Structure 1
Amino acid sequence: MSQGPGLYFDIGKKARDVLHKDYAQQPPIHFNYKFLNWNLDLTCEEELVYGLRGLFSCNIPDSGKLEVQHLNKFSGFSASIGLSGDTEKGYSPVANISGLIGTRILTMGANLAYDTLERSRTINNLNAGLSLNCPYLVASVTLHDSFQTLKGSCYLEVNPLTKTAIAAEVKYDLADDETSGVTVGAQHALFPWTLLKARLSNNGKVGALIQQKFGRKFSITVAGEMNLNEKAKEKYPKIGVSMALK
């Protein structure tokens, strides 16, 4: 595939992976059995021709999409259509298109999302972003929610051999003129196949996970989260277990 700047959703991805990926988070719509909530992620990717690939992803029963991506040396574009689940509205067809231009060092791009069931028949969400990629530091600034939210993130690689890195993310609400969230986190590989992550948010939520890989295809992740600001009787951790086969 292309060694260009990638896709729009690669902006801030390294920081998001440290702070959010594989933690005990449940999609809005999920299966429930007694005390157990669960869902199933399926992804299929195929290179159609050089520089053009198709991707099908599905989070059962929450959402799914069919996407086409085009990558070249100085740009990356993607278009997708799928269903997005909401506990109140149900499932809505959503079309999405994004573009990114630049080099492997400096990139900028935008993303448009359109809910086909909305009566207003206007763009539902417009995002834009800018990213600076250095050998050990990756910084990004993005505008979300049709430019109502400003998000800044940074990723600092401490030791590539042990995957040791720290990351931070700040959200600023432009409408209310205040900081709406701050999250910091770190990751470290104890062994080549064992990864530890931890994060802390300004709202008192602390999370951690351990991910164990078995070969190159299969991994098991155990993640937990607890809100330190909750009352003593309600202060209990949320535990999640996920398995991935690639």
Structure 2
Amino acid sequence: SLSLSLYRAAMKGPGLFSDIGKKGRDLLEKDYNYDQKLTVSTRTASGLGLTTNAVKKGGLYVGDITTQFKYGETTIDVKVDTESKVTSTVTRAELFPCTKAMTTFKNSDLNYGKLEVQYFHDHASVTGAVTLKQPPNVDISGTLGSHGIVFGAEAGFDSVLGTFTKYNAGLSLKKSQTIVSLQLVDKGDMLRASYVHHLDGKQTSAAVGEITRK
């Protein structure tokens, strides 16, 4: 597959719609693994990095190897997993003023691609994505906010059926060590609320709660 993304080089403002509620989800779900896991990372002075991940599930080992090379404003990442799936990503910073371009190829799906553009302002962000397959699907999202208060919404459109594939909305309140998020997801059928409170100034520990209601 092929995807191309354009980003503002220096992310600022209220952030992306996908950031609403992300802190709570990551603390509750991300990187929790009851299997044995080993990660080894190295980097040379020339800019070549190598990361190996291995997880033992039962009597089997699964994992991946990622190679990263940086040259000037260009970064090349190649990832190979134990299922022989190869993902290559080329990232070019400052391709245009205040932009970053990212191109990704996957050998598992040669007919799929996506073009994504993200724009960041002091008080707003807008993201648009179009699949490069025919016929294309379109996703768009945006946020508005300042001083720790962010409102956001996203929608997806199927150009074949002429219908919306998704429409969600969210609100995030952040003050000092506390983040409260409310999201209306699944086309308005589910309400998700999360609460994060960091227990120390370095944010090394936190109390987290999440409630969902249909």
**Shorter-chain TM-score above 0.5:** yes
Q: Distance in 1 between matches of 2:15 and 2:37?
A: 19
The two structures have a TM-score, normalised by structure 2, of 0.65
Find the counterpart in structure 2 of residue 68 from structure 1: 68
Helix, strand or coil at the partner of 1:23: helix
Report the alpha carbon displacement of residue 152 of structure 1 after superposing the two structures with TM.
Answer: 0.9
Percent identity at matched positions?
11
Matched, 1:173 2:158: yes
Are the aligned partners of 1:168 and 1:185 in contact in 2 as well (CA < 8 Å)?
yes
Structure 2: runs of 5 or more not aligned: 1-7
Helix, strand or coil at the partner of 2:18: helix
1:16 corresponds to which of 8, 15, 18: 18
Are the aligned partners of 2:80 and 2:86 in contact in 1 as well (CA < 8 Å)?
yes
Report the alpha carbon displacement of residue 58 of structure 1 after superposing the two structures with TM.
Answer: 6.0
Q: Distance in 1 between matches of 2:180 and 2:71?
A: 32
Find the counterpart in structure 2 of residue 198 from structure 1: 182
Give a deviation string over 1:104-128, Cα, whole Å, max 9, x none.
3xx364532314xx4xxx5254221
Give a deviation string over 1:82-107, Cα, whole Å, max 9, x none.
439xxxxxx56231314353333xx3
Matched, 1:96 2:88: yes
Matched, 1:81 2:79: yes
1:151 corresponds to which of 124, 128, 139: 139
Find the counterpart in structure 1 of residue 127 from structure 2: 140
Query: Structure with the greater relative contact order (CA < 8 A, sep ≥ 6): 1 or 2?
Result: 2
Closer/same/farther in 2, CA of residues 158 and 217 from structure 1, 3 Å limit = closer
Matched, 1:128 2:115: yes
Are the aligned partners of 2:24 and 2:195 in contact in 1 as well (CA < 8 Å)?
no
Structure 1: runs of 5 or more not aligned: 32-37, 85-90, 229-246
RMSD: 4.4
Q: Distance in 2 between matches of 1:55 and 1:227?
A: 43
Q: Distance in 1 between matches of 2:122 and 2:174?
A: 19
Report the alpha carbon displacement of residue 171 of structure 1 after superposing the two structures with TM.
Answer: 1.3
Are the aligned partners of 1:19 and 1:183 in contact in 2 as well (CA < 8 Å)?
no
* Code of the aligned partner of 1:94: V
Q: Distance in 2 between matches of 1:114 and 1:197?
A: 34
Find the counterpart in structure 1 of residue 204 from structure 2: 218
Closer/same/farther in 2, CA of residues 134 and 145 from structure 1, 3 Å limit = same
Q: Distance in 2 between matches of 1:164 and 1:55?
A: 39
Helix, strand or coil at the partner of 2:25: coil
Helix, strand or coil at the partner of 1:140: strand
